[in-house]
Amino acid sequence: MQKIRFLGEDLIGKIAAGEVVENPASVVKELIENAIDAHASEIRIEVEEGGKKKITVSDNGSGMSAEDARIAWQRHTTSKISSADDLFAIKTLGFRGEALASIAAVSKLTILTRDSESETGIELHIENGKIVSERVCGMNAGTTIVVSQLFYNTPARLKHLKSERVELLRIVDVVVRYAIAMPQIRFTLSTEHGNVFTKNPDSDERAGLIPVIGLEGAKSLIKMGWKDGRVEISGYISKPEIQKSTSDYIYLYVNRRWFYSKNIVNAIRDACGESLMKGKYPIAIIFISVPFEDVDVNVHPAKTEVRFVDERSIINSIAGAVRAAFARHREHEAILREVHEKGAQQTLAVESTGTAAQPAVVKEAITAYAASHPAGIVEEKTKVKIRVIGQALNSYIIGEISQTSEAFSGKPFQEASPPEKPSGKNSLGVREGAESHLVIVDQHAACERIAYEALRNFEKVVKQELIVPLVVELTPKEAKTLEEYRELLASLGFEIEDFGLRTFTVRSVPSVASMIATKELFIEMLDSLGEGKAQDAEEKIEHVLKTIACKSAIKSGEPLSVEKMYEILNALYKCKLPFNCPHGRPTVLKYQKKDLDRMFLR
């Protein structure tokens, strides 16, 4: 065993900093919190190279005296609490007295500050745990903190930073999070290239949300309000038809402090009830107000989780608020519908509802696939005959398949086509030695498999130019995901151009996934990509292929024509691994006659 020794101050500082400062966005978070605690009504954030080179946060808050400024950046110094009792009723965002110290330990820090009592301000430069220079300066009351060369003395951390754009988007996310919480404060975020976003205090509450959740998202919000004993809930929830693939759009605040809680996210989903599909989430902005002593905010190093004294009552109140908001919304919709129906009764009689055109995707997937895969790809020496019996429950294709492993002449796979007319023939006329099955095919899983294998053939993927390019407005998280997967998507046929920081134009898509050429599906695809935990390049490719395959596949519940079913089964049986979808779930259930006999106890 090594001998135990005391760590040096410098090392202690860097270890502590590791918990608080993970990237430029965490610096921005701490500095914004300090400005809010100083009662600023305006906070300006400027970053260079995604915050890696320089972060400047200026506020017009209370400022500090020269004396206070000289100690504010040291460890365990705070003006916000003074006794253990205070710790259990925290009213400020900061309280630990370690944020500035942590930032100072891993960067070059400048503090410029002046309180309203002082004639002049003070400018301090801090490096390697000490003040290296100090001077008097003229300035308005308030504070400006400049953080330069983040992680210059911790190369391991520096290495883990992402591209400038990704780091910037993380910062945007943080600023927006606080801008939602503090509508009375003016926030400005800019980079060396110009203004990114300004949130004015007097703007309409919902309009202010557009930079975070996009115009469509903001338009979809229903207002909530609820009070139950000590708990008050306000905020917004999206209309039932909005279905997001991630919980990223659920913003939780307690006493205007942002936090995350899996339990509450689950409770919100439960309260949405059946309107929400499996694995989907709504958009929600939830402000919880409780007495300060009812919540412990000192449970997480970066203060992103909290503990409620009575979590059950919080969850019940949120569920109540969500249900009440939906009930009001339904009532409202019903009234609108009634008005609309009365007006539309006559036109309805002549308007043909028609069947919606089948998405072209599977046809294209199959054609592209067939074109790029010579028939020999099917297990050699296997001959497949297919007969479609029909579709069941709008989700499953029932058919009869016969596979012969005997030697044969000619093509191993014979394209089956629907009979011209029902012929009355009800079997495949299978020869002795052939293995014949009744099959139940999951139409969605099968299409996923077909699209996935077509896409795997990268260089042969055909791209489809869009006549009208899609213009998509993304949230910071989606834009971050897009950035991460951009090259891969490009190699698959997605031509994407920048059109502003978080607006992009999509000019082409892979033709096997032409169904993704709608804003909603494109964004859904990004959301699913963002959820993945892919580590290396190979996992990423897999993740992208599976996601595109899933989003472009025919959904379960969709009626199919006989031709379509033949197309799907033909293409499926040409796949290398026809019997599982890319996620590993089965595509086909097979029953031989003897299996059925056994089930019927014959």
Residues of the shown chain interacting with Mg ion in the complex, contacts defined by CB under 5 A? 34, 94, 99
**Token pair of 570 as six digits:** 């033909």
Closest approach, Cβ 257 to ligand ATP, in A, equals: 11
Q: Note the helical H segments in 144-186.
A: 155-159, 164-181
Q: Which of 42, 53, 70, 78 binds ligand ATP (CB under 6 A)?
A: 78
Give the footprint of ligand ATP on residues 131-190 (CB under 6 A): 143
Q: C-beta of 88: minimal distance to ligand ATP in Å? A: 15
Task: Give the full edge-to-edge strand order of the sheet including 588-591.
Answer: 383-392, 396-404, 435-442, 588-591
**In the complex, minimum distance from the CB of residue 103 to ligand ATP, in angstroms, rounded to a whole number:** 8
Site size for ligand ATP (CB under 6 A): 24
- Of 100 and 554, nearer to Mg ion (C-beta) is 100
Name the token pair of 199: 């949130």
| Contact between residue 173 and residue 158 where contact means Cβ atoms under 8 Å apart | no
Which residue carries 């299978």 as its tokens? 430
Angle subtended by helix axes 24-37 and 164-181, to nearest 10: 20
If the CB atoms of residues 93 and 264 are measured against ligand ATP, the closer one turns out to be 93
Please, which residue, 143 or 514, has the CB nearer to ligand ATP?
143
| Beta strands 250-254; 284-289: pairing state | parallel
Decide which of Mg ion, ligand ATP, none touches 182; Cβ closer than 5 to 8 Å per partner kind. Answer: none
Q: How far is the CB of 491 from ligand ATP (least distance, A)?
A: 44
User: Per the structure block, which two tokens stand in for 212?
Assistant: 């975070």
Among residue numbers 202 through 261, which ones bind ligand ATP (CB under 6 A)? none
Q: Output the smallest distance, CB 26 to Mg ion, in A.
A: 12
**Distance of alpha carbon 401 from alpha carbon 507, whole angstroms:** 41
Token output for 231: 């708990």
Residue 35 C-beta: closest distance to ligand ATP, Å: 5
The answer to whether residues 457 and 151 touch, using CB atoms and an 8 Å cutoff, is: no
Cβ nearer to ligand ATP, comparing 30 with 527: 30
Token readout for 494 is 């997605």
Minimum distance from residue 36 beta carbon to Mg ion (Å)? 9
User: Which partner, Mg ion, ligand ATP, none, binds residue 35 by CB below 5 to 8 Å per kind?
Assistant: ligand ATP
CB of 8 to Mg ion, least distance (A): 24
Question: Given 3-state DSSP classes, what are the helix, strand and coil percentages for the chain, each rounded to the nearest 5?
Answer: 40, 25, 35
Residues 88-127: x where in contact with ligand ATP by CB under 6 A, - otherwise, as a string: ------xxxxxxxx--------------------------
Q: How far apart are CA 483 and CA 487, in angstroms?
A: 8
Q: Toward Mg ion, which CB reaches closer, 34 or 60?
A: 34
- Segment lying near ligand ATP (by CB under 6 A), choices 61-69, 269-277, 539-547, 554-562: 61-69
Of the pair 131, 534, the CB lying nearest ligand ATP is at: 131
* Cα–Cα distance, 117 to 384 (Å, whole number): 89
Q: 249 is in the binding site of which of ligand ATP, Mg ion, none (Cβ under 5 to 8 A by kind)?
A: none
CA distance 126 to 102: 12
> How far apart, in whole angstroms, are the C-alpha atoms of residue 94 and residue 390?
64
Nearer to ligand ATP, 102 or 191 (CB): 102
* Cα distance between residue 316 and residue 334, in whole Å: 27
Residue 369 CB neighbour total at 10 angstroms: 24
Distance CA 530, CA 170 (A): 13
Stretch that binds ligand ATP, among 60-68, 219-227, 411-419, 456-464 (CB under 6 A): 60-68
Q: Count other C-beta atoms under 10 Å from residue 71's C-beta.
A: 12
What is the nearest approach in angstroms of Mg ion to the Cβ of residue 99? 4
CA 293 centroid distance within chain: 33
Residue nearest to Mg ion (CB): 94
With CB under 5 to 8 Å by kind, the binding choice for 64 among Mg ion, ligand ATP, none is ligand ATP
Give the CB-nearest residue to ligand ATP: 94
Residue with the two structure tokens 């026809």: 578
Is 447 in contact with 564 (CB distance < 8 Å)? no
Taking each helix axis as running N to C, give the angle between helix 164-181 and helix 210-219, from 0 to 180 degrees, rounded to the nearest 10.
Answer: 60
Between 16 and 439, CB nearer to ligand ATP: 16
Binds 77, which of Mg ion, ligand ATP, none (CB < 5 to 8 A, cut-off by type)? ligand ATP
Q: Which is nearer to ligand ATP, 98 or 164 (CB)?
A: 98
**Least separation in angstroms between CB 53 and ligand ATP:** 21
Query: What does the alpha-carbon distance between residue 447 and residue 368 come to, in Å, rounded to a whole number?
Result: 13
- Quick one: how many helices (H) and strands (E) in the chain? 16, 22
Q: Which does 90 bind (CB under 5 to 8 A by kind): ligand ATP, Mg ion, none?
A: none
Q: How far is the CB of 504 from ligand ATP (least distance, A)?
A: 35
Find the binder of ligand ATP among 80, 230, 239, 456 (CB under 6 A): 80
Q: Which of 190, 195, 198 is nearest to 47 (CA)?
A: 190
Of residues 21-40, those binding ligand ATP (CB under 6 A): 30, 33-35, 38
User: What six digits make up the tokens of 576?
Assistant: 């290398």
**Residue number with CB closer to Mg ion (99 or 455):** 99
Stretch that binds ligand ATP, among 62-70, 494-502, 514-522, 538-546 (CB under 6 A): 62-70
Tell me which of 77, 190, 234, 503 binds ligand ATP, using CB under 6 A: 77
Return the SS3 of 140. coil
Element (H, E) at 20: helix 9-20
Chain positions contacting ligand ATP, by CB under 6 A: 30, 33-35, 38, 59, 61-64, 72, 77-80, 94-101, 143
